[in-house]
Structure 1
Amino acid sequence: MLSVVLGLILGAIIMLAFGYDPLLGYSSLIDGAIGSPFYVGETLRQATPLILTALGFAVANTAGFFNIGVAGQALFGWVGSVTIALMFPDLPKMILIPFCLIVGALCGAVWAGIAGVLRAYFNTSEVIVTIMLNYTALYISNHMVRNVLTKADDATPRISENASLRSEFLASITENSTLHYGLLIAILMCVVVWIMMHKTTLGYELRSVGLNPYASEYAGMSTKRNIILAMVISGGLAGLGGTMEGLGNFENLFVMGSMPSIGFDGMAVALLGAGNPFGILVSGLLFGGLKIGGVSMPLSSDVPSEVVDIVIASIIFFVGANYLIRYIMNRVVKVNKGGVN
C-alpha cells in the first residue's frame, strides 16, 4: 500500500513539474475508472487477463524462476483459442468455450514447458530462453494470421457467438461495457492457485524448491520434476490470460508489432500483489483501473495518459525497493523509541 501511495505522490510531483493540476488529473482518472457502471465494467474487463498472467508469473516466481516469457505464453494461448474457435464455429457453446479454454491453457503450458525442460536438464537460464521464445511466439502468431487463418489479411474474422465469453447480462448491468465471463474464471483461478500452493503437496514442493532446491532434493523431492511443473502451470495460467483476450476482449487475432502488454503488466501485478493470489486479485483491479482511467485523463484534465505509465512504473520501483523502505521505517521507529542515538 505504501508503494502505491509513493507512486501516486511521485506522479503528482511530475504533474506539478510540468504545469498540470494533480488533483484534477487524479479525479479524472478515478472518474474514468469507476465513475459509472460502464467504466466499472471496463475496469473489470481490463483486469481479467492481468490477473491470470500475474498468477502464472507468481507460480513460477514462488518456485524460484523468473518467467519473463508470460507475454509469449499468453500470446500462444490467444492463438490457440482463436484457432479452435474459427475451426469449429458451429459447436454448441457449452462445448466450444471449454474446448477453447483448454487449448489456450495447453498452448501456454507447452510454450513455457520448453524453458522448464531446458532449465531442468541443461541448467539454462529461463530468463534468456523465455525472452527468445517471446519473439518466436510473436512471429509465429503473425504468420498464423497472415498465412493460415486468413488469406494475407492482418486480422482474422471475429469468432462465432458460440465461442465468445461476452454476456448480454453483464453488458446490460454495466451500460454496454465489454465485461465478460472471463472475470469469473480469473477469480476462480485465484482460489484454485491459493489452494494448490498452500494446501497441497505439490504446492509445498514448489515452494520448497523455490526456497532451497538442494535441501528439497536431499529431502527426496524431484527438483527436475518440480521445475518443469512450475513452468508448465505458469504457462497454462498465462495462456488462459491470452485466451481472455481472444474470446472476450477482442474476439479475434491480429498482426502485432510487439508483444501484448498483458504479459509485462501481469508481471507488475504479481510483484505488487507479493505473489499472493488474493493480493494479485486486488492489484489486478488497481492496474485495470489505472489503465482504463488513464484514457480519460487527457480528455477531462489535459494530463497526458503517459502519466499513468509513470505512476505504474513508480509503484513497481517502490515495490522493488521494499527492503530499503522497510529499513528506513524500522530506523524511524527505533529513533522515535529512543533506541538509536
Structure 2
Amino acid sequence: MSRSERRSSGVAGVMRAIWALTAVPLFAFVLALLVGAIVIVLSSVLVLKNPFDPTLPISAYAALAQGAFGSFDSVVSTLVLTTPLLLAGLGVAIGFRAGLFNIGAQGQFRMGAVGAVAVAIHAQQFPAAIAITVSLLGGMVVGAAWGLVPGLLKAISGAHEVVTTIMMNYIALAVLAWLVSGPLQQPGSVPPTTPSVDIASLPILLGRSGHIGILIAFLAVPMAWFLLFRTTRGFEIRAVGANPDAARYAGIKPKRLIVLTMSIAGLLAGLAGACTVLGISHTMNPTFSTSVGFDSITVALLGRSNPIGVMLAAILFGAMRAGAGPMQINAGVPVELVDVIQALILLFLIANVVSQRHQRHPGARPVFSIC
C-alpha cells in the first residue's frame, strides 16, 4: 500500500470513528428539537391565531442560540455553565465504561461543594492561592469519599449502585441542610447560609464570570481520555464493563476496579461542586442545589461515554442553559422548554439502546448498556 493510500485509509478510519461517535447523539438532538418545535407551536397562545406558523419555533431557537453564543459575555456564560456538567459528566462516563450506572452524581456534587466550603472557611488566614488549592482538594476528597461508599457496598455485598447512589443522594441533601443550618452557618443569617468564601474564590480568566474552573474542566477531558484508552488501569475498567467474568478470568480484580471507578466518579463530581460554589455562588444555603448531577447522566449518555463526546454534549447543554433566559425574554417561550428537550434527548438515546439490543438478541431481557 502506498503512502497516499495509507493516508487516505487513515482519514477514512477517523471519519468513520467520528460518525460512529456522533451519529446517534446528533439524530437524538435533531429529533428532540423537532418535537420541541411541535411543543412550542401547540403551547403558544399565538397558535389560535395562526395554527401552523413556522416562525414560532424558529424565533425561539434563534433566541436560544443568540443567548448562548451571540456575544462574548454569552459565550463566557455558556462555558461557566458547561464546567460542572463536563466534570460531573466525565465521572459518570467513566462509571459507565466500568458497567456502573452512577445515579449519585447529584449527591457527590453537593458534598464536594460542602467540602470545599468547609475547608475554605477554615483557610481564611492563608494566601489566596493556598486557600483555593486546599478548598478544591477538599471538594475532591469529600466527593471521592461519597462515591467510595456505594463502590464498597457493591464490591462487598453486591448492592446495586443505582439503589445505593440514590440513597446517598438523599443522605447528602440531609447532611447539607444540617451543616448549613448548624456547624457551617454564618451567625445570625436568616435564612441560614454559610459565610462567604471570598478568599477562596476562583480567579477570573474570561470576562466578568469566566473563572479558572473552565480551564480545569477542559484539561480534565484529555486526562480522562488518556486514563481510559492509554493506561492499563483504563483498559481494566473497560474490560470489567464489557464482561466482568472474562475480566476476572484474565486476572483483573473487578471489585477493586468498581471501588476505584466509583471513587474517581465521585472525585470529578465533587470537583464540579467545588468549582460551582467557589466560582459562582461563594456561599451555600440548605437548599443549595442545581440539576447538574442529574443532567450529567444525560451528558454522559449523549457523549457515548467518550470524554470527547462528553465535552461536546456538556457544551451543548451549557449553551441551552445559557440561552434559556434570553429565549424566554425575547421569544416568550418558557425556560422549561430546555428541560423538555433534554428529556427528549435522553428518551431517544435510551430507545436506540433498547432497539439495538433487541435486534442483536431477540427476546432477551432489556438490560441497559451505555458504552
Give the structure-2-normalised TM-score: 0.83
Measure, in 1, the Cα distance between the counterparts of 2:354 and 2:292.
28
Could you say which residue in structure 2 is the equivalent of 1:247?
A: 278
Instruction: Choose between structure 1 and 2 for higher RCO, CA contacts under 8 A separated by at least 6 residues.
Output: 1
CA contact (8 A) 1:182 1:244 kept: yes
Residue 93 of structure 1, CA deviation? 2.3
Q: Which amino acid aligns with 2:201?
A: S
Measure, in 2, the Cα distance between the counterparts of 1:326 and 1:225.
31
Sort the Cα spacing of 1:226 and 1:152 in 2 relative to 1 into closer, same or farther, 3 A.
farther
Alignment of 1:126-275 (within 5 A): 126-150=161-185, 151=187, 153=189, 154-161=192-199, 163-167=200-204, 169-171=205-207, 176=208, 178-256=209-287, 259-275=289-305
Residue 36 of structure 1, CA deviation? 1.1
Deviations 1:80-121 (CA, angstroms, capped at 9, x unpaired)? 001111111131222222211111111011111110111001
Deviations 1:126-147 (CA, angstroms, capped at 9, x unpaired)? 1111111101111111111110
Measure, in 2, the Cα distance between the counterparts of 1:196 and 1:208.
13
Alignment RMSD (CA, Å): 1.6
Runs of 4+ in 1 over 4 A off after TM superposition: 323-327
Could you say which residue in structure 2 is the equivalent of 1:279?
A: 309
Measure, in 2, the Cα distance between the counterparts of 1:324 and 1:85.
45
Give the structure-1-normalised TM-score: 0.90
Measure, in 2, the Cα distance between the counterparts of 1:324 and 1:60.
20
Could you say which residue in structure 1 is the equivalent of 2:148?
A: 113
Q: Say if 2:346 is the partner of 1:316.
A: yes
Measure, in 1, the Cα distance between the counterparts of 2:337 and 2:135.
37
Measure, in 1, the Cα distance between the counterparts of 2:249 and 2:107.
34
Measure, in 1, the Cα distance between the counterparts of 2:355 and 2:319.
25
Q: Provide the secondary structure at the position in 1 that maps to 2:181.
A: helix
Q: Unaligned regions of 5+ residues in structure 2, if any?
A: 1-25, 47-55, 358-371
CA contact (8 A) 1:11 1:307 kept: yes
Q: Say if 2:38 is the partner of 1:7.
A: no
Deviations 1:214-240 (CA, angstroms, capped at 9, x unpaired)? 111111111111110011111111111
Q: Provide the secondary structure at the position in 2 that maps to 1:48.
A: helix
Q: Which amino acid aligns with 2:253?
A: S
Quick check: 89-98 or 228-237, which moved more? 89-98
CA contact (8 A) 1:86 1:160 kept: no
CA contact (8 A) 1:104 1:243 kept: yes
Residue 255 of structure 1, CA deviation? 1.3
Measure, in 2, the Cα distance between the counterparts of 1:194 and 1:251.
31
Q: Unaligned regions of 5+ residues in structure 1, if any?
A: 328-341
Could you say which residue in structure 2 is the equivalent of 1:331?
A: none
Q: Which amino acid aligns with 1:165?
A: L
Q: Which amino acid aligns with 2:197?
A: I
Measure, in 2, the Cα distance between the counterparts of 1:152 and 1:141.
18
Q: Provide the secondary structure at the position in 1 that maps to 2:138.
A: helix
Q: Which amino acid aligns with 1:55?
A: L
